[in-house]
Amino acid sequence: MQDILSRRKLLISGLAFVASSAVAFARDGEGNRLFWERKKAKGQGKKRYPDFWESWDGDYDDDWSDSDDRYYGEDEYDPALLPPPEAGIDYPIEPVDPSRIAPRYRRQVVDFSGPAKTGSIVVDPAAHFLYHVREHREAVRYGVGVGRAGFAWSGEAEIRMKRRWPRWVPPKEMVARDERAAKWANGQPGGPGNPLGARALYLFSGGKDTLYRIHGTTEPESIGKSVSSGCVRMLNEDVADLFEQVAIGTQVIVRGA
């Protein structure tokens, strides 16, 4: 009888040990799972600094705004990492095959009538034209791409800054909504792959930067269309031609679309 009781005590003790071990193992397993999940999540944090020399993704070029030189982010933006305002090289500009541009959007001298003074710039978004007003009721007319619905800007401004092969800094809102823009949170250096193209004219109104530009483009097929985030796009050879003819302080009138 005593042997039976001893065997029962031994069996009960063994079961209790197994049960306690299983509970301990389950707790340890849960702890390990949480540990590795947290470790994995920590290792997948987004890249803080962009690779300035990575080539531009052309498919993203139709969704940007050309803001520059302002504070854009709390975590991504670091002014110490901004590239130079202009490229160190004045790259050659490759003219676009004229057959790719509709005849009406090619650079040409046209008759012009209106209140704008000689030397000023008039942008007509509805017609996708930019006029550089000359004497004798004439103007040089350029085809342009303009802002799509919801992004277009209009008003009077003046050119307060000019740059060759300018850098591009995406706005904070764009950095937040698309990881492809996040790589340029601290600015993309100027050059042939930069969406601002070969030249940029910076528009100010009332002494303040409007954050809108007249600039070149990496997408000549966008000329004559409403596709940008508000700025005025020109062919690189056209904006380079205009760049040489206008001075700081030139009046710019952007008509309402």
* Residue 51, in any domain of the structure: no
Report if residue 50 sits inside a domain: no
Q: Looking at the structure, do residues 39 and 105 belong to the same domain, yes or no?
A: no
132 as an active site residue: the answer is no
Rounded distance, CA 84 to CA 51, Å?
15
Q: What is the C-alpha separation between 214 and 242, in angstroms, rounded? A: 10
Euclidean distance between CA atoms 63 and 170, whole angstroms:
10
For residue 83, give the CATH number of its domain.
2.40.440.10
Non-local CB neighbours of 233 within 8 Å, separated by 6+ positions: 144, 145, 146, 197, 215, 216, 217, 219, 222, 223
Question: Is 200 among the domain residues?
Answer: yes
The verdict on whether 231 is a catalytic residue reads yes
- Same domain? For 140 and 37 the reply is no
Distance from C-alpha of 209 to C-alpha of 205, rounded to nearest angstrom: 6
State whether 230 and 136 are in the same domain. Answer: yes
Does residue 100 lie within any of the structural domains? yes
Tell me: do 171 and 192 sit in the same domain.
yes
Residue 53 lies in a domain: no
Q: 140 vs 104, 108, 120, 206, 223, CA distance in Å?
A: 12, 6, 11, 27, 16
Cα 240 to Cα 217: distance, rounded to the nearest angstrom:
11
Residue type for position 17: F
Same domain for 193 and 100: yes
Residue 178 confidence (pLDDT): 73
What span, in angstroms and rounded, lies between the C-alpha atoms of 119 and 121?
Answer: 7
Percent helix, percent strand, percent coil in the chain, to nearest 5: 30, 25, 45
pLDDT at 102: 97
The whole-number mean pLDDT for each consecutive block of 10 residues of the chain, a chain of 257 residues, reads 46 44 39 43 37 29 39 57 90 95 98 94 96 97 89 90 93 77 84 94 94 94 88 97 98 91
Residue 9 shares a structural domain with residue 83: no
Looking at the structure, tell me whether residues 15 and 123 fall in a common domain: no
> Do residue 91 and residue 5 come from a single domain?
no
Given a contact cutoff of 8 angstroms between Cβ atoms, the answer to whether 173 and 211 are in contact is: no
Verify that 84 and 172 share a domain, yes or no.
Answer: yes
pLDDT of 257 reads 67
Q: Are residues 25 and 104 in the same domain?
A: no
Which residue segment(s) compose the domain that 8 sits in?
1-45
Provide the residue type at 27 as one letter: R
Catalytic residue among 128, 132, 136, 231: 231
Query: CB burial class (10 A; 0-12, 13-18, 19+) of residue 161?
Result: middle
- Identify whether the C-beta of residue 244 lies closer than 8 Å to the C-beta of residue 202: no
> Is 234 contained in some domain?
yes
Residues 22 and 73 in one domain: no
Question: What pLDDT is stored for residue 138 in this prediction?
Answer: 98
Answering whether pTM is above 0.85, one says: no
Catalytic residue among 128, 132, 136, 215: 215
Residue at 188: amino acid letter = Q
Do 111 and 182 sit in the same domain of this protein?
yes
Task: Give me the phi and psi of 65, to 5 degrees please.
Answer: -125, 145
Q: Domain count for the chain, please give it.
A: 2
**DSSP state, residue 166:** B
Residue 188 lies in a domain: yes
Residue 52 lies in a domain: no
